[in-house]
A and B are shown apart, each in its own frame.
Chain A
Amino acid sequence: MKKRVFHPCGNYHENYADQLKVYETDYGRFFAAAGLVVLFGLAPFVSTPYLLYILNSIGIAAIAVIGLNILIGYTGQISLGHGAFFGVGAYAAAFLATRCDVPFLLSVPAAGLITALVGLIFGLPSSRLKGLYLTIATLAGQFIIEYVLVHWEDVTKGTMGITLPKANIFGLEISGDIPFFYVIFLALLVMLWLAVNLMRTKYGRAFVAIRDNDRAAEGMGIPIFPYKLLAFAISSFYAGVAGAIWAYYTVSITAEPFNLGLSVEYIAMVIIGGMGNMSGAIFGAIFITGLNELLRWAIDLMMNMGMVTQTGLNLAPLREFIFGLAIVLFILFEPRGIAEVWRIIRSNFRLWPFSY
């Protein structure tokens, strides 16, 4: 039997393979496995339908945010169009499912690929340039895609929206919260696994090199423009997959939710969760979705107590204000997000009582 490894009190990496390890210790692996057991074995059965719905929303958001994190956190480019790309994924899946009768398992990755292609159209002009032109191009992408989703009626049916057929995996019909819970979280797991391992390959290292210093990266022989484009395509792929699953989950889709607000929400998740950290995407999705629900609950409570009236306080502006405030505060005080806070807490425990 292999020797179990406990937490060391310092950084004892001796070679590159050590540094590339996903789990530092067997504890990490054990807790990850335990977490998965609780997630898949227990969570869907003990939670109420409402809680399950929130969990599913978190899972879908987390997939999109992992993709955005690859772009923002690892490659150092900002996309303000991920809300729209999410929508492209949703519409692509809806189109494939209703017009071409493509089964669920095929239409979701296909929607991701279509979204990646659409992303490339907007990424192509900007990633030739240094600096943050991609941000501006994706802002344009956001508005152009929103327009196309509403006005290209042959494909998107305009404001009518599209109703999707029930998802079907090998004859097994998937509907309702619990089956979707499994689909969403299995997809999240696969996408997370892909992303974590992608970052350990030469592609991932190239992304990080471009983020840290694009001139030096170029000097080291990394062709930065293809790599920037690749990062953007991968990130749009993630958004597309998330959108496709969301479309199946909500059954009927319209172009309304895929606005700039959604893009900003995803950016908030990346920043608050932790840029350049895969677990950050999940923390961010939990935090923002939780915050959303908390605000709704607080306002309901206040209205019931008669402290505020319906006309006096509206959910949307307060939510927007608090999102903005959260982004600003996190950037000012903890730019690496909740993931960093979590790391500090953990290492405090580990190093106690000699935490120097």
Chain B
Amino acid sequence: MDFFIQLVVNGLSVGFIYGISAMGFVMIFKSSSVLNFAHGELLAMGAYIFLVLVTWAELPVYAAFLLTMAACFSLGFIVERLFLRPLIGEPLIFVIMLTVGLAAMFKGLILLIWGGNLHTFPDFLPSWLSLSWGSVSVQPVYTLALVVGTIFLVLFGLFFKFSSQGIYMRSVADNQRAALSLGVNVKKVFALSWAIAALVAGMSGIILGIINGVNVHDLSAIGLKVFPVVILGGLDSIGGAIVGGLIIGLLETLTGGYISPSLRDVVPYIVLVFILMVKPYGLFGQVEIERV
């Protein structure tokens, strides 16, 4: 029983982090319907920038965190400006292939600079963050993730609901051409959504780095695990990303605990194929209705 409860708690904590990682992905998909295959590399970029700032520059954690956020924000901006802006109006297939290329490029770059070894952050989390009830315990990182993730979730909810930029983004996601003709600056919206997505990715990269250590192979694998999460939750739903993440995380740890550890990493993809078969738009995704 304790084993089961511990597995469930672990699964939910891992899943919540998957959900946060998927949020950035959903941002980009919502505003420009691009599947971003370079998402894992954006996660890794954030983690490595933080690593450099904390270990090499020896900045205090808060300053390093804020600087990393700023750096990721600009990185997203630059990526959009350099690589995606020229492709506005081109068929979507080119944009998606471009993200596949970007993923390979970033991964190679990170490997060239930092190598493929596992790096770890110095331990900086206070121990009062760890929670425990009886025999079940939650590590401090997961509490941190819960707090930070909830803050981001609420901020995003408010941003999309009330700020003018958020409303522009929703309008572009809904119908790019209509938004354009109503005077929405679509280029600005794209740039902003990439910047915000990179920022969220950087944040989740840092959290993942605290949990598993920083390694570009692991982080880019998590970037791909975002796909089952978002398909399950619904490609265009930020709340769905969190729920999808929780379910996938739970399934993963339960399979790892009860069936076989090697099946653990494949289960999300089996779920993915299954979901595509029975409920292709996911739990919370909007069903596409075509009117010609």
Contact = CB atoms under 8 A, between A and B. Distances in A.
A316 to B, nearest CB: 7
Interface string A108-127: 00000000000000101110
Given A140-B273, A325-B105, A328-B105, A215 B266 contact: no
Given A132-B92, A143-B266, A332 B276 contact: no
Given A135-B35, A327-B101, A316 B269 contact: no
Given A78-B97, A332-B87, A139 B105 contact: no
Nearest to B90: A335
Interface stretch (B10-18, B107-115, B137-145, B187-195): B107-115
Contacts of B109: 317, 321
B111 A317 contact: yes
A264 B83 CA distance: 19
Contacts of B92: 132
B292 A215 contact: yes
A267 B111 contact: no
B227 A140 contact: yes
Contacts of B96: 78, 132, 135
Interface string B215-234: 00000000010011001000
B229 to A, nearest CB: 11
A122 B92 CA distance: 22
B98 interface: yes
A346 interface: no
Interface in A318-347: 318-328, 331-332, 335
Nearest to B92: A132
B28 to A, nearest CB: 14
Contacts of A72: 93
Nearest to B271: A140
Interface residues of A, number: 49
Given A126-B276, A314-B111, A335-B94, A140 B228 contact: yes
Contacts of A151: 262
Contacts of B87: 331-332
Interface in B237-290: 262-263, 265-266, 269-270, 272-273, 276-277, 280, 288, 290
Given A78-B97, A321-B112, A331-B101, A136 B107 contact: no
B111 A327 contact: no
Nearest to A319: B108
A205 interface: no
Interface string B80-99: 00010011001111101110
Contacts, number: 138
Contact of A328 (B93, B102, B228, B288): B102
A327 B98 contact: yes
B59 interface: no
A128 B273 CA distance: 13
B97 A136 contact: no
A144 B265 contact: no
Contacts of A125: 273, 276-277, 280
A264 B90 CA distance: 21
Contacts of A122: 273
B103 interface: yes
A23 interface: no
Nearest to A121: B273
Contacts of B270: 140, 144
Contact of B111 (A260, A320, A325): A320
Interface in B139-176: none
A267 B97 contact: yes
A137 interface: yes
A140 B83 contact: no
B276 A136 contact: yes
A307 to B, nearest CB: 15
A327 B101 CA distance: 5
Interface string A5-49: 000000000000000000000000000000000000000000000
Contacts of B224: 139, 143, 260
Most buried by A among B106, B266, B277: B266
Given A324-B103, A324-B105, A331-B87, A139 B273 contact: no
A147 B273 contact: no
A321 B102 CA distance: 9
A204 interface: no
Contacts of B106: 324
A194 interface: no
A274 interface: no
13 contacts: A78-B93, A125-B280, A133-B276, A140-B228, A264-B103, A318-B108, A320-B104, A321-B112, A323-B108, A324-B106, A326-B101, A327-B97, A328-B83
Given A324-B101, A328-B105, 14 more contacts: A76-B91, A129-B280, A135-B35, A136-B227, A140-B228, A140-B269, A141-B269, A215-B292, A268-B101, A321-B111, A324-B103, A327-B97, A331-B97, A332-B98
